[in-house]
Amino acid sequence: MATTLISSSSSIPFLKHQPLSRRRFPYPLFLHRTNTLCPSITATATTDSAAVSVHHHDDQTNHKIVLPTNQSSETLLRIRHTCAHVMAMAVQKLYPEAKVTIGPWIENGFYYDFDIEALTDKDLKRVKKEMDRIISRNLPLVREEVSRDEALRRITALNEPYKMEILEGIKEEPITIYHIGEEWWDLCAGPHVESTGNINKKAVELESVAGAYWRGDERKPMLQRIYGTAWENEEQLKAYLHFKEEAKRRDHRRLGQDLDLFSIQDDAGGGLVFWHPKGAIVRHIIEDLWKKIHMEHGYDLLYTPHVAKADLWKISGHLDFYKENMYDQMSIEDELYQLRPMNCPYHILLYKRKLHSYRDFPIRVAELGTVYRYELSGSLHGLFRVRGFTQDDAHIFCLDDQIKDEIRGVLDLTEEILQQFGFDKYEVNLSTRPEKAVGDDDIWEKATSALRDALDDKGWTYQIDEGGGAFYGPKIDLKIEDALGRKWQCSTIQVDFNLPQRFDITYVDSNTEKKRPIMIHRAVLGSLERFFGVLIENYAGDFPLWLSPIQARVLPVTDAQLEYCKDVTKKLKRNGIRAEVCHGERLPKLIRNAEKQKIPLMAVVGAKEVETETVTVRSRFGGELGTISVDDLISRIKLGTQNPTSL
């Protein structure tokens, strides 16, 4: 995997050796900056199969550590899985009353859930010491196969109710068990290392403990989940911990609160996002850009209802195959209605409102449509996993021989939008027909070939997931890479042979015969909420100037300059610049507050600036940048931002 080393230096000179009155204002004005990490480390990582690369750099060294993943190293996967078992064994040695549940390996380590009294950081230290003792004993891990009755007998003898429930869900026989030495065992299919001595105890760390509902269901018991991380050696662990600290600094949940961007209010319910004024400005800019580019690419914009009769979801198949993700029906005047989990049926209804000719195609419609999906409370996570969100949904109705050109057009549009936000590295997957599918072989082959050819024409590298497509059509998935090298699923292009058939949509061909069109679902950003969370973490809250909710803050040295500052702010706003005036504190504190709130530019006004009708501009990264007229500031911001929206 290619690794990008991100510069930690600012692109704006400090100009600190010139007297303020003689400083020249840099051009362009602090517009193109790199994402910066902590000085001691620059890291890139992926959440999937590719390795993680971490660069340590200081005055003496500059070397790269390539961190393996569960997908790239089965050894690492086995270590992590075994660590989960070792931890469970340690917990039950220290706390015999603890009941065990499940303990899988996860992306960067492992966890195990216990039914036990609340644990503390002090408890974690005790557990880690006991794990170290178990590892040092070099106990073998032995796989055993038993009958269901024998497994039931053993679990009953141990009084492990959660394991009993797990056993009930296992349909196959024999039942597999893994032993650690002769002292502890667990229901498990593996794989594991051969013995605990294969684990480097200095490359293992217990990270945290959190509450987690059994099966993720808030109606079930609250358990204690211990998270740990495990690596092949100490150097990998150290690099990962550096990377983790940087990711923590960028956590969108913390930055969303610190920068007053969004919140989730307990009184309203989990997974329901409140966009604060500053966050709403960023969303408005994103939506404006999205609409502008879509209209340029020949899409018609739509707005459709948030609810529909339950019968619509019966026709679409959602009630049969997606009901567990939908909210309960509501009765209105003796008819049942339901919140929409998807936008597709609405767009189909609009297509069906009139008869179409083959000459009408392609038909492209797009909507920023809010949908509602039930998620277990235990799975909710900031903006990344919510219950109500806005999809940038679009559908294309076209003829068979138009599929390739339409897919290529979607790829171009996707690239155009994502590059506006600085995303130019993608991981692309093409998923083909599964064993069970609707639609005949010919149309599947034609559609799959069209997707493959469009990707080839685009020149993008992609992986083929044989049999990984949905039952109703092949698809392309695109993941973007952020400043830390993490991959995020955003864009999807999905051919659909199912809904056109369910809704019986047709067109009249050149022989005046009714035929069924091809339907393509596609989303570029996926979810506005999730994409906003990715943006926050990618930029670490330091949005580029064109995307910043507040582009400039005007600061008076004393209240004597306040009226002039208000006039400057009004003039900036009249020229489409997002500005505000802030006063009431000493200037150094005003500047610190602006920097803390990640305001890109500060226009400082003292008596001399009032007299000369100027402002002295400070950049959050570049320090003092010079004294210029307000008109000059406006023109330079406008020219430099290259704002792709109409704002």
CB atoms within 10 A of CB 543: 23
Q: Is 521 a catalytic residue?
A: yes
Q: Choosing from 475, 479, 578, 618, which is the catalytic residue? A: 475
Tell me the C-alpha to C-alpha distance, in Å, between residue 371 and each of 269, 342, 392, 526.
Answer: 16, 6, 11, 12
Q: Indicate the Cα dihedral angle 171, 173, 178, 181, nearest 10°.
A: 140
In sequence order, which residues have a C-beta less than 8 Å from that of residue 267 and are 6 or more positions away?
Answer: none
CA-closest candidate to residue 238, choices 208, 282, 205, 285: 205
Q: Is 143 a catalytic residue?
A: no
Q: Choosing from 395, 404, 452, 553, which is the catalytic residue? A: 395
Q: Choosing from 391, 420, 551, 561, which is the catalytic residue? A: 391
Q: Choosing from 113, 123, 393, 496, which is the catalytic residue? A: 393
Instruction: Report whether 581 contacts 599 (CB < 8 A).
Output: no
* Burial class of 456 by CB neighbour count within 10 A (0 to 12, 13 to 18, 19+): exposed
Rounded to whole angstroms, the Cα distance separating 330 from 470 reads 30
Rounded to whole angstroms, the Cα distance separating 611 from 629 reads 11
Rounded to whole angstroms, the Cα distance separating 594 from 618 reads 10
Q: Is 344 a catalytic residue?
A: yes
CA-closest candidate to residue 196, choices 136, 154, 253, 149: 136
In sequence order, which residues have a C-beta less than 8 Å from that of residue 565 and are 6 or more positions away?
Answer: 554, 555, 556, 581, 583, 605
Rounded to whole angstroms, the Cα distance separating 298 from 296 reads 6
Q: Choosing from 373, 408, 522, 530, which is the catalytic residue? A: 373
Bond into 362 cis (ω within 30) = yes
Q: Is 179 a catalytic residue?
A: no
Pairing of strands 552-556, 41-44: unpaired
Q: Is 33 a catalytic residue?
A: no
Instruction: Report whether 341 contacts 373 (CB < 8 A).
Output: yes
In eight-state DSSP terms, residue 559 is G
Q: Choosing from 344, 398, 490, 582, which is the catalytic residue? A: 344
Q: Choosing from 521, 530, 618, 636, which is the catalytic residue? A: 521
Q: Is 63 a catalytic residue?
A: no
* Burial class of 218 by CB neighbour count within 10 A (0 to 12, 13 to 18, 19+): exposed
Q: Is 391 a catalytic residue?
A: yes
Q: 330 — alpha (psi -120 to 50), left (phi > 0) or beta?
A: beta
CA-closest candidate to residue 520, choices 455, 472, 465, 480: 472
Structure tokens at 198: 């294969």
Question: What distance, in Å, lies between the first and last C-alpha atoms of the chain?
Answer: 38
Query: What amino acid positions are annotated as catalytic residues?
Result: 344, 373, 391, 393, 395, 475, 521
